[in-house]
């Protein structure tokens, strides 16, 4: 072991004190240096976390809605007061710029605020007098221990899509965050403890495939919420459901922004920049395919490339616009698409490899890149690149744009830019995508709606948070009851008669 910081599991309200079999490097992507070693859980550590969560379940599910709501409000206040601290941890391990990291925590907080309304959200229905003296009512009860497995790109927000609702509904949680940026989850665990959440209700195990596999097969884990790439999402869904669990597995994306000729092209250019290069394109809702209906492509490409020249790439702590990619391996993979796109015949208008950087030379840098005249068969279009590469596809008509979007195997987010309300309305109706923006490039729903894509972007049938989140983390029960009318007629020795 080295003398770099060590990040370990949070089980039963305290740091795990065992000796890890394996550890992984955590990098500062802006310097390229290893900043910490994270313990990678073996099945035994996952078992310990699940046992802690199982042990805490009875007390937590029996605590009143008032008590649970008080803990949630306290947690909300603590994380709101300390969101810069969480953001700094995110920037130091993920690389996104600080303002973006604060934004991520803020969006996660919205789900905590939604979950503060859990007494209202858990209300059931009641039918009085369905038969003589008989009433029927429905209630929703927690599942037990639930597992949350999250990706590197939103180390605070994505877990916060799930655990506030899960905990508010009375479940206990084992979170397995990405091993690439594990620190935000540790801060959050401490904040739950400070808010008065009983030990064992929220646990964190760090790790990779062995930890995920143990969660998927563990008999005491009732449900799994997963977010990550499509191949792993499919695997998690199939393995988890085979082991009898309720699973929602959100996968990768290829998000299209359609620009019609009547759109405000300055607005569209700004939106393409923000949605294409924010967080260095490492967002599941990033726009990566710009579908431009002719004859405006020349003008729009010129406006976008002019704006790209003003973006400052560098260390996210220095007030830059775009930070590094998460690891050197990922940076190299994204950069390889710049070669394959050119080889396939697309026009590389802006090459991010030429970027001047405000940061350490060894950081995992790649500047914003722009392809024009790409075709739907090219790998720069078919693959989820997950980096700062925007690809323009030129099409002759709205119908051709729609066909392109609907032929894509992913269906997470999409946007249409137009001033034609009729065309926008048609698009929202016809497009086979779970989240649609009209002149809004990243249409992430508010916490009281549900987040989720279609097709290969989501396996299972429940989206995250909102009503679907409450439904996912509870199961329904219907009670049919008969109570006889009280009879206080006193003593009467007369012959019984109907009244």
Active site residues: 284
CB 182 within 8 A of CB 93: yes
Minimum gap (Å) between residue 119 Cβ and ligand NAD: 28
Minimum gap (Å) between residue 108 Cβ and ligand NAD: 12
Helix (H, G, I), strand (E, B) or coil at 204: strand
- In terms of CB distance, is 142 or 281 closer to ligand NAD? 281
- In terms of CB distance, is 364 or 386 closer to ligand NAD? 386
Minimum gap (Å) between residue 384 Cβ and ligand NAD: 5
The 8-class DSSP code of residue 322 comes to B
- In terms of CB distance, is 284 or 423 closer to ligand NAD? 284
Nearest by Cα to 105 from 275, 96, 452? 96
d(CA 246, CA 216): 10
Minimum gap (Å) between residue 386 Cβ and ligand NAD: 5
Name the token pair of 372: 């024009």
Cα 237 off chain centre by: 16
Minimum gap (Å) between residue 310 Cβ and ligand NAD: 27
- In terms of CB distance, is 212 or 300 closer to ligand NAD? 212
* Helix ranges (DSSP H) in 280-327: 297-308
357-358/389-395 β-pairing: unpaired
- What length is written for the chain? 499
Minimum gap (Å) between residue 185 Cβ and ligand NAD: 11
> Strands across the sheet with 22-28, in order?
5-7, 33-40, 22-28
The 8-class DSSP code of residue 464 comes to B
- In terms of CB distance, is 142 or 207 closer to ligand NAD? 207
The secondary structure element, H or E, covering residue 246 is: strand 246-250
Minimum gap (Å) between residue 459 Cβ and ligand NAD: 10
Match 């002759």 to its residue by tokens. 396
What backbone phi and psi angles, to 5 degrees, belong to 66?
-60, -45
- In terms of CB distance, is 51 or 227 closer to ligand NAD? 227
483 exposure class (CB count in 10 Å sphere: 0-12, 13-18, 19+): exposed
The residue ranges that bind ligand NAD (CB under 6 A) are: 149-154, 158, 176, 178-179, 208-209, 212, 227-229, 232, 250-253, 284, 384, 386, 412, 453, 457
- In terms of CB distance, is 10 or 60 closer to ligand NAD? 10
CB 237 within 8 A of CB 243: no
Cα Rg for the chain, rounded, in angstroms?
26
Name the token pair of 358: 């405000």
* Helix ranges (DSSP H) in 326-397: 328-344, 379-382
Minimum gap (Å) between residue 9 Cβ and ligand NAD: 14
What backbone phi and psi angles, to 5 degrees, belong to 261?
-60, -25
Minimum gap (Å) between residue 176 Cβ and ligand NAD: 6
The secondary structure element, H or E, covering residue 436 is: strand 435-438
Nearest by Cα to 39 from 191, 177, 224? 177
What backbone phi and psi angles, to 5 degrees, belong to 280?
50, 35
- In terms of CB distance, is 152 or 237 closer to ligand NAD? 152
Nearest by Cα to 278 from 107, 393, 428, 80? 107
Q: Which residues on neighbouring strands pair with residue 142, listed in sequence order?
A: 474
Match 């051709």 to its residue by tokens. 400
Nearest by Cα to 280 from 24, 111, 25, 30? 30
- In terms of CB distance, is 363 or 452 closer to ligand NAD? 452
Cα 326 off chain centre by: 17
- Whose CB is nearest to ligand NAD? 228
């Amino acid at each position: 072991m080295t003398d770099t910081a060590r990040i370990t599991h949070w089980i039963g309200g305290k740091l795990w004190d065992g000796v890890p079999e394996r550890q992984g490097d955590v990098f500062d992507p802006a310097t390229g240096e290893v900043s910490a070693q994270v313990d990678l859980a073996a099945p035994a550590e996952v078992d310990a976390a699940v046992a802690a969560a199982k042990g805490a379940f009875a007390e937590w599910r029996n605590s009143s809605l008032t008590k649970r709501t008080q803990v949630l409000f306290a947690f909300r206040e603590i994380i709101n007061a300390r969101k810069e601290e969480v953001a700094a941890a995110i920037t130091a391990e993920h690389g996104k710029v600080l303002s973006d990291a604060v934004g991520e925590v803020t969006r996660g907080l919205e789900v905590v605020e939604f979950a503060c309304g859990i007494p209202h959200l858990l209300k059931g229905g009641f039918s009085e007098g369905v038969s003589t003296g008989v009433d029927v009512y429905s209630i929703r009860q927690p599942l037990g221990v639930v597992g949350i497995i999250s990706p590197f790109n939103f180390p605070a927000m994505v877990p916060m899509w799930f655990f506030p609702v899960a905990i508010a509904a009375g479940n206990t949680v084992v979170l397995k965050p990405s091993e690439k940026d594990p620190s935000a989850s540790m801060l959050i665990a401490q904040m739950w403890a400070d808010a008065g959440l009983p030990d064992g209700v929220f646990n964190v195990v760090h790790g990779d495939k062995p930890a995920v596999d143990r969660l998927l097969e563990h008999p005491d884990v009732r449900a799994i919420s997963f977010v990550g790439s499509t191949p792993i999402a499919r695997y998690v869904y199939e393995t988890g459901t085979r082991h009898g669990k309720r699973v929602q597995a959100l996968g990768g994306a290829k998000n299209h922004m359609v620009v019609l000729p009547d759109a405000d092209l300055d607005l569209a250019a700004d939106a393409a920049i923000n949605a294409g290069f924010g967080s260095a394109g490492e967002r599941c809702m990033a726009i990566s395919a710009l579908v431009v209906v002719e004859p405006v492509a020349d003008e729009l490409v010129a406006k976008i490339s002019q704006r790209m020249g003003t973006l400052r790439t560098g260390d996210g702590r220095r007030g830059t616009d775009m930070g590094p990619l998460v690891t050197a391996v990922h940076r190299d993979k994204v950069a390889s698409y710049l070669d394959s796109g050119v080889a396939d015949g697309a026009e590389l208008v802006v090459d991010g490899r030429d970027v001047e950087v405000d940061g350490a030379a060894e950081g995992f840098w790649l500047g914003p890149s722009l392809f024009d005249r790409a075709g739907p068969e090219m790998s720069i279009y078919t693959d989820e690149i997950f980096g700062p590469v925007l690809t323009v596809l030129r099409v002759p008509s709205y119908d051709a744009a729609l066909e392109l979007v609907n032929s894509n195997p992913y269906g997470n987010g999409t946007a249409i830019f137009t001033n034609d309300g009729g065309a926008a309305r048609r698009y929202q109706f016809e497009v086979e995508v779970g989240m649609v923006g009209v002149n809004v490039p990243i249409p992430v729903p508010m916490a009281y709606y549900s987040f989720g894509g279609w097709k290969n972007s989501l396996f299972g049938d429940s989206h995250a948070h909102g009503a679907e989140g409450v439904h996912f983390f509870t199961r329904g029960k219907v009670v049919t009851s008969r109570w006889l009318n009280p009879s206080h007629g006193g003593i009467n020795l007369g012959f019984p008669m109907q009244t």
